[in-house]
A and B are shown apart, each in its own frame.
Chain A
């Protein structure tokens, strides 16, 4: 599809003309949408075309021009939220409020929002109809060998030093699946570090690290109070649970990762 309008890379003008003629409003997407959703009317197609234009301007850099994922944003054609959305009720909420640290809020009219939602749904229908691979599926991460994964868990991987298949990791594969499970396995990003701080007075306090940089350490004590100090005024140690995971990276082969994943997926 992407190729249709790119007849002549050397001549941007000619290519542009072809692009405008062919699919600036994604007519193929509309056709697919029309096929996938029998209720599509000329009004609906016009709305999808308008949504495509809005999407190209506001969303495509992050989510890709076909909503299939891009520079920084996820593939919307595989999004659970999009699946559950009805006429923009869920998409609109995310678009208008943004996602903290990930996506800015957008101030859109309800007509613009309707059109964008219609376009995203059309793209989702199209992706489904085409059956193209657009992401990592749960079964993609089941190529490993369970027995070797178990051996790695208990041996070379040193996982069993901190974890237990029947303890903290029991039912882990029910809690997380696929890529989400793999990411938790590789690096427990959200695990909180603990700090033990010796103050100039000699008093020792400990808590969960909230802030730590060149200049300051801030911790939350057991009673919920927050305290911070310039790092050059205190002595401290930090216990970071993800460090044991970090140490594995230089030693992992891809097969180790695949085997370990296969094993963890048996812990249901």
Chain B
């Protein structure tokens, strides 16, 4: 109803004002119908992942295996007039731009950009001055009707007018003095703006919260640990204090199944990070995939990827939703390639596992899996004073850049780090705090694009980048398309692979390594591929037209 009213206002303005002024002020409005689990309309990219599934698969076929050689840069938008950000140096676009009514909305920490999708010309820019918090990344904005939602390093939740970039209101959602910070692209589900937070420098609790899109007021909060002893899950903690300092940040956008009315979210590593002796037990619900009701924030089910984590294996990687027939029965599934090195495929109605298998080396930190498919940590491979060698690199087997699932190939794709590291325990006291240890090394390093069979967890194909360090290696997230293509970054180039077999079909040099998840949409009958690399956003089309 509100949308209709806004449109008629825009129409009134069109009739009464000079055309030019109207063009610059007309509100871009997101039609809620474009928010789908699968099959979003081709002329819009309405959320961080494009649709609610997190598959990052587009059905568009205009650019395909036959004509990929003609793909050319149509325009570049380079960020200018913003100095390097404190603490993180050069400007890096990690956000996936939304595209609504011909306008792209994307971010870096402290800044929102609205750029004409046809020309790459800036429409408006919103500049924010933070007072603390961490500026290491910003994943993008959320949109509801004509309103844009943006999160700042110091925990402000800001609503902007999509037509002008003018601020509507701001609400504080995280306290930077507790070392919380916000980097997420807010996820809009019905009339809920869902916000996660980061910050594990101070042993605080993770939480996820829902806010009203009109007023910004809090609707619900879900905490990553049980609130008090006796609550379900508290039996996995030794005491209240350990639970209150347990971490479990929610810093990447989750996914949503409208039919089941469940949101799916990854929770971050447990705190203290490497020293686990003061928090004996599995430490729920850190390092888990959780399914929550978006109207109430109530937990429906959980699956813990790294019980009693002592390796900093933040389990926030995208829980990707897809449907598939297995043994003749249609199944609603969820897959995650986790930082702990395991690939999980779960039934998303109840969290029961179908696949739980290492996807890089052997994931030797675990002794195997339990009856629920959850890895069983090996105490012998916890960090030790004299070191404990783990066959996963420091930083994990994968990280935040978005993976992809293609229903065409039925393969799940992830950019992975392969290698070995040694985990050391520093703090041997009975009540350690903070990091309490560390991981050293990325020994025998390899950077690989891995295609996983979702029925078995087997590696179908793997492309290992030859170059590493500096400009080498795989970079950014992954997009697959109906044209049989997979787009990702490889050795400072944007590369298109054959999604069936991993063969490189085309590549083009970028000014720096690809730094975000690629996206695609059709405008004026032309398919565009959009990628961010460092401080520059690129639009590519066939023949650059």
Contacts and interface: CB of A to CB of B under 8 A. Distances in A.
Interface residues on B, range: 35 or more
A212 B467 contact: yes
Interface in B380-405: 380, 384-389, 391
B37 interface: no
Given A20-B177, A24-B177, A140-B385, A6 B244 contact: yes
Contacts of A65: 179, 201-202
A104 interface: yes
A254 B388 contact: yes
A69 interface: yes
A21 to B, nearest CB: 11
Contacts of B227: 10
Interface residues on A, range: 35 or more
Main secondary structure of the interface of B (DSSP, over half): loop
B119 interface: no
B230 interface: no
A147 B44 CA distance: 67
A133 B429 CA distance: 9
Contacts of B470: 101
Contact of A3 (B177, B178, B241, B429): B241
B426 A136 contact: yes
Given A186-B443, A213-B466, A213-B467, A2 B433 contact: yes
B205 A2 contact: no
Interface in B528-544: none
A69 B244 contact: no
Given A59-B87, A245-B444, A9 B225 contact: yes
Contacts of A5: 178
A7 to B, nearest CB: 8
A201 B86 CA distance: 52
A58 to B, nearest CB: 5
Contact of A249 (B433, B443, B471): B443
A134 B275 CA distance: 12
Contacts of B391: 249-250
Contacts of B243: 9
Given A187-B443, A213-B491, A10 B205 contact: yes
Contacts of B150: none
A155 interface: no
B192 interface: no
Contacts of B441: 183, 186-187
Given A6-B203, A214-B467, A66 B426 contact: no
Nearest to B275: A133
B387 A257 contact: yes
Contact of A58 (B86, B202, B380, B467): B86
Nearest to B203: A2
Interface in A92-136: 98, 101, 104-106, 132-136
Interface stretch (A11-19, A41-49, A82-90, A162-170): A11-19
Contact of A250 (B361, B428, B429, B493): B361
B383 to A, nearest CB: 10
A132 B527 CA distance: 59
Contacts of A1: 433
Interface string B245-266: 1100000000000000000000
Contacts of B429: 132
B435 A69 contact: yes
Interface string B466-485: 11001110000000000000
Given A6-B204, A135-B438, A214-B467, A257 B225 contact: no
Contact of A143 (B84, B386, B491): B386
Interface string B483-495: 0000000110101
Interface string A210-235: 01111100000000000000010000
B436 to A, nearest CB: 9
A225 B220 CA distance: 64
B251 to A, nearest CB: 12
A64 interface: yes
A68 to B, nearest CB: 7
B330 interface: no
Nearest to B205: A9
A6 B223 contact: no
Nearest to A62: B87
Most A CB contacts (10 A, CB to CB) among B175, B384, B429 go to B175
A180 B56 CA distance: 42
16 contacts: A16-B178, A24-B177, A57-B132, A58-B86, A61-B201, A71-B201, A132-B427, A133-B426, A135-B426, A183-B440, A186-B422, A186-B441, A214-B467, A250-B362, A254-B384, A258-B387
Given A186-B443, A213-B472, 18 more contacts: A8-B244, A10-B228, A12-B175, A56-B132, A59-B87, A68-B434, A104-B89, A135-B426, A140-B385, A182-B387, A186-B420, A211-B467, A213-B467, A214-B491, A252-B389, A254-B380, A254-B384, A254-B386
The 4 A-B pairs with the shortest beta carbon distances in the complex, nearest first, are A104-B89, A213-B467, A9-B244, A213-B491
